[in-house]
Amino acid sequence: MTPLLKFLLAAHVVLGLLGVAAFYAVWMGLLRETSPVKFLKASAIWGVVFLVLSWATGGYYYATYYGAAVRSVIRAGQYSWAHNVFMEAKEHIFLFLPFLGIVLAVTLVALGERIDQKPVLKKELAILAGVLSVLGIFITLAGAVISGAVR
């Protein structure tokens, strides 16, 4: 694997973790009685940026290296289920996470100043931020399983 691919793989992981952390921060902020609106907006926007960058770096790694060099090793090994279950789930879930993040960020930017006066909307946004966080954690753990299957 070239140094560029190693860098992109590391960037994919770090950027994804930063995105999950940003959406977790939004989730926790929305659970407070009084929401820190500026912080929520910034965290949601950064969460989207991090996920999109993680999406791009991971996609490049997958298209140029994983598909040709790693997938066949996993499928031929004793942990072939790691690709069949976790990679497939990861690929499909990760495709829509940035879009969910965009919905959260746009809503917070548009309605953030009034979020504490709209308890139903605040609760729904908290659920969305929680879903983003939990799915992000699942994707992170799935990546760890997939990486372990290569060895």
**Residue 93 pLDDT class (50, 70, 90 cuts):** confident
Instruction: Tell me the pLDDT tens digit for each residue of 7-52.
Output: 998 999 999 999 999 999 999 999 999 999 999 999 999 999 999 9
Do the Cβ atoms of 48 and 101 come closer than 8 Å? yes
pLDDT at position 107 is: 97
State the pLDDT at residue 149. Answer: 61
The answer to whether residues 135 and 93 touch, using CB atoms and an 8 Å cutoff, is yes
Helix axis angle, 3-30 relative to 88-111, nearest 10°? 50
* H-helix segments, the chain: 3-30, 37-61, 71-76, 80-81, 88-111, 119-150
C-alpha distance from residue 52 to each of 6, 32, 85, 105 (Å): 19, 27, 23, 13
Confidence of residue 69 (pLDDT cuts 50, 70, 90): low
